[in-house]
Structure 1
């Protein structure tokens, strides 16, 4: 495996690929399931790490970057929907990985570089993007939702930018996107309090665009129709 100095010194066009290779060395059992429908032009990305509430581990971060690569070249694409397996969006970064990175500033920067690049490219895709939030979207999971054009919530949805509880700050670039959505004062209150925003408040403050109304087994179809 390449050293940190080698990863940092590589040219821009090669650095992301090298970081992807490095970050996959972290242990993790999570994965992403990408399904593309060329007839409708709708793709779905399911975050799957059920034993850890769909937390993002190293292999998942790398896979998400590769998925965005694939979507950038999907000519039939019109929209993508990101959601979590088993009615829970995402609990944030995998805690085991977070503990490994917490006291290593340089490696934390590598992870942040990859995720900022991935979410920036996700935001810039030439197709509409929707985060469908069932259950909780916490920390990095909440940040992921801000990279989508729209956020649709289930009645049980809760969103929390809870980084301050771990003594860290937003690493995936959500701060600027949140300010664009909600304004500086509201974002400051949400981030410093680390409180959870329920589905009703998410609609009221303009964070979410729509709340699903059908029975739970039909949520995803309703999101696609929306």
Structure 2
């Protein structure tokens, strides 16, 4: 699939995925969502040697400033539900991806942009980043998981305040409240994201994928996270990676994981 709104740059096994609609503040329109869906469902899983993905926005103003409101004008109840479901399905692909996905939030992350950042496994913000779910200002609510994931990260009290007021918070507030992992100057954020993925890439690939599964299970109402952990633990103990990791520990050397 040729990409129009996504730029892909591979650097030493790390894919830097840039949402490329800077004139529209990288707003999430239908085409962008379809491209994200294809990328995470078809393209990225097929890439050999992939260490992880860094997701960011083009330009200096916005990560993603929201959804494309122009497309909302034609919605009715059913079309609105369909749009929200498609958006949630795409973001679940990101949240459940088997390699680390880091959001490098380099400006406004509002509405769908905040929801997109929360679907990633980790978040690094530049000092000018701003986060918020301002949908109530338009007379609607978040539809791509914002009412659920914001509570997961901030807790009910703070999340309820932000969801009902539509207020934005600064990068420093997001860090203090647990929404982001790091706040760094713009010139340092990408290097930090690469360093984190590089560190994770040295671990057992199967173990990383199973850890992501177990973490996600904690928030899935139809699954017992503890049971998922038990099954995932058992699955990892049967891998070649575990045998290699245990042997390397005993022999006091670095492990050579193969992902099997």
TM interval, shorter chain, is 0.7 to 0.9
* Deviations, residues 103-162 of structure 1 (Å, cap 9, x unaligned): x12112221121111111110111111111111111111110110111111011101110
Check whether the contact 2:115–2:144 (CA below 8 A) recurs between aligned residues: yes
Shift of 1:217: 4.4
**Quick check: 1:51 aligned with 2:23?**
yes
Check whether the contact 2:65–2:111 (CA below 8 A) recurs between aligned residues: yes
2:67 to 57, 75, 93: 93
**Quick check: 1:82 aligned with 2:55?**
yes
Would the alpha carbon gap of residues 217 and 183 (structure 1) be closer, same or farther in structure 2, given more than 3 Å must change?
closer
Pairing 1:48-197 to 2, within 5 Å after superposition: 48-69=20-41, 70-87=43-60, 88-101=62-75, 104-197=76-169
CA RMSD between the two structures: 1.7
Higher Cα Rg, which structure: 2
Shift of 1:76: 2.0
In 1, distance between residues paired with 2:153 and 2:188?
A: 28
* Deviations, residues 68-125 of structure 1 (Å, cap 9, x unaligned): 1122333422211111100221111112112222xx1211222112111111111011
In 1, distance between residues paired with 2:83 and 2:46?
A: 24
**Quick check: 1:36 aligned with 2:10?**
yes
Unaligned 5+ segments in structure 2 are 197-260
Secondary structure of 1:80's aligned partner: strand
- Per the normalisation by structure 1, the TM-score is 0.79
Shift of 1:181: 1.3
Q: Which runs of 4+ in 1 moved over 4 A?
A: none
Check whether the contact 1:42–1:79 (CA below 8 A) recurs between aligned residues: yes
Check whether the contact 2:102–2:121 (CA below 8 A) recurs between aligned residues: yes
In 1, distance between residues paired with 2:87 and 2:123?
A: 19
Shift of 1:218: 5.0
